[in-house]
A and B are shown apart, each in its own frame.
Chain A
C-alpha cells in the first residue's frame, strides 16, 4: 500500500527526529515554489496531487501568502488536513477550508507559558516605565536628564484580561504573584475552577475599571480593531495596555494618538498591525516597551510546538483526525 504524502510548508528547526520519524508512515515532500504565484502554479501542475496532509509554519506565509479562498480553491482535492504550527491561525481562512472539506489544527497550550511570560515582562516594563531608563543608560545618560517620572508597582492594581483562553489564564496566575487582581471579558464566562476566581465583567466595565489592560484574544473578523478610538475614550486615564495577541486587534494609530494625549500612560507590545513595520509614533516613543513578536521564541517552546504540530500530522495520517482542531471546526 502506498504511503500517504505529507507536504511541509516552512521549516522544521528543532524537532528533526520527530519529523523524520514520519517517513515510516508517509512520504514527506516540500514545494519548490518561493512565492505565492509559483506555489499556485505548482499546485495546478499536479505536483501535490498525492498530498493528504500539510504542515505549515507562521513564516511559510512568505511562500504561500494567506491561506484564503483563492489558495484553498487550487489545493489538491485529496488535501484534507492542515496542521498549523502556532496558536494564532488568523493567516488561515477557516471558513474557506471548511467549505472545501479541509480540517485545520493549531497549537494551543504549548504556547501558554512563553506567551504569558513575555506578557508579564511587558506589563512590568510598561508599568515601571523601564524603557526610558534603559535607553538613557545606553546613551550614556545614566537615569536620564531630567530623570523620567517614577513608575508604578503592580501590587494592588486591577489587571483586565480581554480573552480568557489558555494564555490569559496562564497570565492571571503569574500576575497574581505580583499582587494584581484579575477581571476578564470573554465570549462566555468561565467556571470558577477555570477562571481561578477572576471576576467576569462586561466589555465596557473591563475598559473603564482596569489599571492594566491585556489583550489575549484571537484575531478574526469580529475582533479586528476591537480596541480603537472609542474604546480608548472609555478607559481609565493613565491606563497601561499590553498586547501579545495580534497587532490588528488594536488600532495602532489610535493607540499612538491615545499615548500622545496621555490617555494611555504606557504600553508594552509584542505584536503590530503590519509586522515587520511598526508605527513610527511607537518607535519614536521612549516610554513604551516594544518587542518584535518574540512571544514563543524559546528553544524549549519552539521544540514543543513543532512536536505538537507533528503529532497532529501523525494523527491525521494514522487515524484520519486531528489532535487539536481549531475552535470553529470542533463540531466538523
Chain B
C-alpha cells in the first residue's frame, strides 16, 4: 500500500510537490497465460532500479492537481486499453513530429515540458533517429526511458546515464518468438528448403536444381551470445538432437546454460556446423563476423542471424556464400534494413525473412503491456523493473 505524504512548500508560483516514497514491488500482471507459467524468475535476473530518495513526479498548479506527464514516442498498437488506463495516474502526451528536426522543435516549443517518463516504441527510430545526448537535452526533465523492445541499439546508453536517465527494455518476453524464428530459419537453411519452395511456386515442384538437405541431429550448434534468446535457441535446438556450444562475454552456470559447452570465440567459429548470432549490437559487436571470421569457419557452415544485421558484414557473407564456404544462411535482420544486399536476394539457397522476429499478436501485446507497466511503475513508484545491463551499476546491489 502506498502512503502519500504531502509536503506543502510555499513557492513563488504556489506549486505543490507530490512525493512518493519507495514502495514495495508490485507483481507483474496482465501476461498471457504461457508467460506466467515460465519458471524463470524475472525479478531475480535483472537489475532493479534504486529509489533511495523520493522522486518528484508531479506538479500542482493553481489549485488543481496536474498528473505527471508521460511521453509516447511512436505508437501503441495492441495495449491501447492499458495505455489509456494510465490516465488515472498520469497525463499521456503523444509526440506529433515525424522526423528528428521536427521533434527537437516540438520539444523546444515546450510540448514535452515536465515529462519524466517516456515510452519508446520500436518504430520510433524514424521519429527521433538515434536517441542520444541531443535528444536527451531537449527533454531535460526525463528520468525514465522505457524501450518497447528487446534490442535497444538506437539508444545511446552512456548518454542516458550521463543525463541521469534510467533505461529499461523488454527482456524474456521476446525470447520465444525470436528463438522460434531462429529455429525456423535454421531448419530452412540446413534442410535447403528455400530453392525448392521457390520452384514449387513456378510450377516445377522440386525443380532440377533441388538439393538434399541435412538433418540437425548430431550437428554442432554454436551460439554467439547466450542471453535469454540464445539460451532459448539452445534449448529448442537440443530437442532436435543438436549439440550446443556457446561463446558469451562470461561463462554461465551449468544450470543457466542448460549443459551447453562454453568455448572460446575462435573455437566457436572453427567447430560449429551451424552458427547462430544472438548477441546485442553495440560498438564492440559491429561486424564481429566478417571476412576473417568466415575464413576460420568450417566448410559448409550454416549461419543464422536473428540479432541485428550489422553484427555481420553482409558483403562478406555474400562472398562466402558465393565461394561455397557458407552453405546456406537464414536471416531475419540486415545491415541496412529495409535494403538487402542484392547478392542475398538472388541467392536461392538462403532463407530470408524481413525482420519479423517478434511479430506475433501475443508477443507484441505482451511487450506493450510490459512496457506500459514500467511506465506506470516509474510514475507511481519512481523506479523501473529491469534496467539494461549497461546500467546495472545504478541498480540495487
A residues neighboring B (CB under 8 Å): 113-114, 117-118, 120-121, 124-125, 128, 130, 133-134, 136-138, 140, 142-144, 150-156, 173-174, 176-179, 275-276, 278, 283, 289-294, 297-302
- Chain A residues, Cβ within 8 Å of B105: none
Q: Which residues of A contact B197 (CB under 8 A)?
A: 289-292
Q: Chain A nearest CB: distance from B243 CB in Å?
A: 15
Given contacts A114-B215, A153-B34, A155-B35, 19 further A-B contacts (CB under 8 A): A120-B187, A121-B187, A124-B180, A124-B184, A128-B180, A128-B359, A128-B360, A144-B354, A151-B356, A177-B236, A276-B205, A278-B205, A291-B197, A291-B200, A294-B193, A294-B196, A299-B213, A300-B214, A302-B212
Number of interface residues of B (CB under 8 A): 54
Shortest C-beta distance, B126 to chain A (Å), equals 14
Residues of A near B217 (CB, < 8 A) are 113, 300
Q: Give CA–CA (A64, B188) in the complex, Å.
A: 34
Q: Are A298 and B215 in contact (CB under 8 A)?
A: yes
- B residues near A (Cβ < 8 Å) are 32-35, 176-177, 180-181, 183-184, 187-188, 191, 193, 196-201, 203-207, 210, 212-218, 235-236, 239-241, 337-338, 340, 345, 351-356, 359-364
Q: Are A155 and B362 in contact, CB atoms less than 8 angstroms apart?
A: yes
If A137-B340, A173-B239 touch, does A152 touch B362 (CB 8 Å cutoff)?
Answer: yes
Could you tell me the distance in whole angstroms from the C-beta of A285 to the nearest C-beta in chain B?
10
**Contacts A156-B32, A299-B212 given; does A134 touch B353 at CB 8 Å:** yes
Q: Are A130 and B184 in contact (CB under 8 A)?
A: yes
CA distance A124 to B191 in the complex (A): 15
B193, B200, B356, B364: the one contacting A278 at CB < 8 Å is: B200
With A152-B360, A156-B32, A292-B196 known as contacts, the answer to whether A142 contacts B215 (CB < 8 A) is: no
Q: For B34, what are the chain A residues with a Cβ–Cβ distance below 8 Å?
A: 153, 155-156, 179
For the complex, give the distance between the alpha carbons of A36 and B199 in Å.
Answer: 29
Residue from the list B176, B201, B214, B218 in contact with A290, Cβ < 8 A = B201
Task: Knowing A130-B184, A276-B206, say if A179 contacts B176 (CB, 8 Å).
Answer: yes
Do A136 and B354 touch across chains, with their CB atoms under 8 A apart? yes
Which residue of A is nearest B203, CB measured? A283
Tell me, in angstroms, the Cα distance from A152 to B34 when the chains sit together: 13
Contact A275–B205 (Cβ < 8 Å)? yes
